[in-house]
């Protein structure tokens, strides 16, 4: 009798747990509308390129729309290199490398016409 009760309790708990988990799909970058510098690109730059490429840093500044726009090819080239390759950014992995999802945001930004706002 106790075994049946425990089996029923376990089955009920499993069903209750599964029904409580989210069934929503994560939205892809294409579902978010146009990617903009201010909305999506600048936060990625802040997360991965500070302090070196922002005011107070020692490297070329990448803190404005115009500066990122003028260097986008170099940014994408250097962030996609093998982490051991010369010129890979972020330098010596002082910050985490850009994820595939973050790189996809950059490519979507290019597809969307590299909007500022």
User: For residues 10 and 19, what is the distance between their CA atoms, to the nearest angstrom?
Assistant: 14
For residue 58, is pLDDT > 50?
Answer: yes
Provide the pLDDT for residue 92.
Answer: 82
Percentage of the chain lying above the pLDDT 90 cut: 64
Mean pLDDT of 2-6: 54
The domains of the chain are located at 27-111
User: For residues 116 and 60, what is the distance between their CA atoms, to the nearest angstrom?
Assistant: 20
Mean pLDDT of 62-86: 96
Provide the pLDDT for residue 19.
Answer: 43
- Return the higher-pLDDT residue of 105 and 18: 105
Provide the pLDDT for residue 64.
Answer: 96
Provide the pLDDT for residue 4.
Answer: 58
Contact partners, residue 50, CB within 8 Å, separation at least 6: 57, 95
pTM: 0.71
Classify residue 28 as left (phi > 0), alpha (psi -120 to 50) or beta: beta
Cβ contact 102:95 at 8 Å: no
Secondary structure percentages of the chain, helix, strand, coil, to 5: 55, 0, 40
Provide the pLDDT for residue 7.
Answer: 55
Provide the pLDDT for residue 23.
Answer: 36
Condensed to tens digits (0 to 9), the pLDDT of residues 12-48 reads 444 444 444 333 333 444 466 899 999 999 999 999 9
User: For residues 33 and 31, what is the distance between their CA atoms, to the nearest angstrom?
Assistant: 6
Provide the pLDDT for residue 29.
Answer: 46
Maximum Cα–Cα distance across the chain? 74
């Amino acid at each position: 009798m106790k075994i049946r009760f425990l089996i029923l309790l376990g089955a009920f708990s499993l069903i209750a747990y599964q029904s409580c988990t989210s069934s929503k799909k994560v939205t892809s970058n294409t579902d978010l509308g146009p990617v903009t510098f201010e909305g999506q690109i600048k936060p990625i730059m802040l997360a991965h390129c500070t302090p070196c490429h922002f005011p107070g840093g020692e490297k070329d500044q990448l803190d404005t729309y115009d500066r990122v726009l003028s260097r986008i090819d170099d940014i994408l080239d250097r962030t996609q290199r093998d982490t051991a390759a010369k010129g890979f950014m972020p330098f010596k992995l002082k910050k985490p490398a850009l994820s595939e999802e973050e790189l996809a945001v950059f490519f979507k930004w290019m597809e969307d016409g590299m909007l500022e706002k």
